Amino acid sequence: MSDPQALLDDDERSLLRRWTGDWAEPQLATLTDAPFSDPAWIYERKLDGMRVVAGADGGDPVLWSRSHRRVNTAYPEVADALAEQAADRFVVDGEVVAFDGDQTSFARLQRRIHLGDARAARNTGVRVFYYVFDVLAFGGVDLRRLPLRTRKRLLKESFDFTDPLRFSAHRSGNGEEFLAQACERGWEGLIAKRADRPYCSGRSRDWLKFKCVSDQEFVIGGYTEPRGSRVGFGALLLGYYEGDRFRYAGKVGTGYDERTLRDLRARLDRIERDASPFHDRVAEREAHWVEPELVAQIGFTEWTSDGRLRHPRFSGLRNDKPAHEVVRETPA
DNA sequence: TTCCGACAGTGGGGTCGCAAT
DNA sequence: ATTGCGACCCCACTATCGGAA
């Protein structure tokens, strides 16, 4: 695609502008818990990696992080693959990911996410891929006003997708069925995008996130003090039983409104005790310990390799389950 | 009027790099 | 050698406010 205009009709051509600048703030998706199916939307895999906008303006490609940091040294093979493309003036948007088996693994990606030395990054043994899902500019032309479906078509036709560069596949319409399959395959979730919309930086409802969430009960074994303007407490320290051992599962510090913070703190004060109830050492400098008897429902995305909850949030207290029956539902 | 997007502020796990212990 | 801290990545959520619907 040396000339994107050749593939467009007159209406689409009228949306083109000249590209200025080298970077664009990425478009973000809004989390929703009500997945739907709609032929006006397309659905793609939500990848658990690092968001990267990559561009070139006749010279070496530059990879930008969301905080507008240049991250070429962390992913030199991605920069190389982009440099080898026929085109040398473009801006694309996508996600850099690493795999653990057939699952994308943020934990593995983290081993090279901050590396400032390209050779060190290559030597980590962590292979990365750049899943490209949008094209914002090509040949000096700003494509952002084109409908998403058209941009996808241009993207697919204008780049050579060989590893580590991959075209992020999408489906039209049946979002609910796709989500069920996604969760079954252990994916993080889906991104739903309105197929007829332009690229628009920042968060909006043109892009939505459907996440495969886990949740289970945990026993509260302590809490931390609030900081700043926070009231009640900072975070709850959570645990579960493994036989007679009360194992530590990490902290949860979000999901409460002010009233819940105050009410819960009052209840915790009544069952405070001196010693930690946890079998594991909890590296918390100023923790308060409580009798492990209150049970909380916690949503989270996954267990980390250290046995902690990732992205935890409090969704309420439960009084229908005895604390001693709370066990880890997903085995380590 | 209600709703939505943007912003600030609080909290999480994990990694790296650096300084203090 | 270990520990603590901040800066980054990934994030969830509450509270507030102003403007759009």
Average pLDDT per run of 10 along chain A, which is 332 residues long? 75 89 85 88 93 94 90 95 95 94 89 89 93 95 94 96 95 92 90 92 89 91 93 95 95 94 96 94 90 95 93 90 90 72
Chain C nucleotides near the protein (CB, 7 A): 4-5, 7-15
Let me know if A46 is a catalytic residue: yes
Q: What is the structure's pLDDT at A2?
A: 58
Does A66 contact strand C, using a CB cutoff of 7 Å? yes
Parallel, antiparallel or unpaired: strands A165-167 and A128-138: parallel
Please give the domain boundaries of chain A with CATH numbers for all domains. 11-211 (3.30.470.30), 214-325 (2.40.50.140)
Using the CB atom, is residue A26 less than 7 Å from strand B?
A: no
Burial A186-216 (b: 16+ CB within 10 A, else e): ebbbbbbbbbebbbeeeeeebbbbbbbbbeb
Which residues, including other chains, have CB under 8 Å from residue A248's CB and lie 6 or more apart? A221, A237, A238, A239, A278, A279, A280, A282, A307
For residue A77, the surrounding DSSP H or E stretch is helix A76-83
Closest to A219 measured CA to CA, from A271, A286, A170: A271
The A27-32 sheet, strands edge to edge: A27-32, A202-211, A189-194, A38-45, A170-173
The answer to whether A279 and A247 are in contact (CB under 8 A) is yes
Strand B lies under 7 A from the Cβ of residue A1: no
What residues form DSSP beta bridges with A14? none
Helix (H, G, I), strand (E, B) or coil at A91: strand
Quote the pLDDT of residue A1: 53
Could you identify the residue written with the tokens 């079998």?
A279
CA-to-CA distance for A195 and A133, rounded, in angstroms?
13
What pLDDT is recorded for position A173?
A: 85
* Cβ of A227 less than 7 A from strand C: no
Phi, psi of A52 (to 5 degrees): -135, 125
d(CA A86, CA A287): 58
- Compute how many other C-beta atoms are within 10 angstroms of the C-beta atom of residue A153: 17
> How many angstroms separate the CA atoms of A317 and A154, rounded?
50
A232 within 8 A of A208, measured Cβ to Cβ: no
Region for residue A147 given its phi and psi (left: phi exceeds 0; alpha: psi -120 to 50; beta: otherwise)? beta
Q: What contacts A121, CB < 8 A, 6 or more positions away?
A: A73, A74, A75, A76, A112, A115
Q: Which nucleotide is nearest to A284 (CA to C1')?
A: C4
What integer pLDDT is reported at residue A255 of this predicted model?
A: 94
Residue A176 (CA) to nucleotide C11 (C1'), in angstroms, measures: 24
Distances (CA, A) of A99 to A49, A71, A181, A204, A225: 10, 19, 19, 29, 38
The pTM for the full model equals: 0.90
CB contact set of A172 (below 8 Å; sequence gap of 6+) = A39, A41, A42, A43, A195
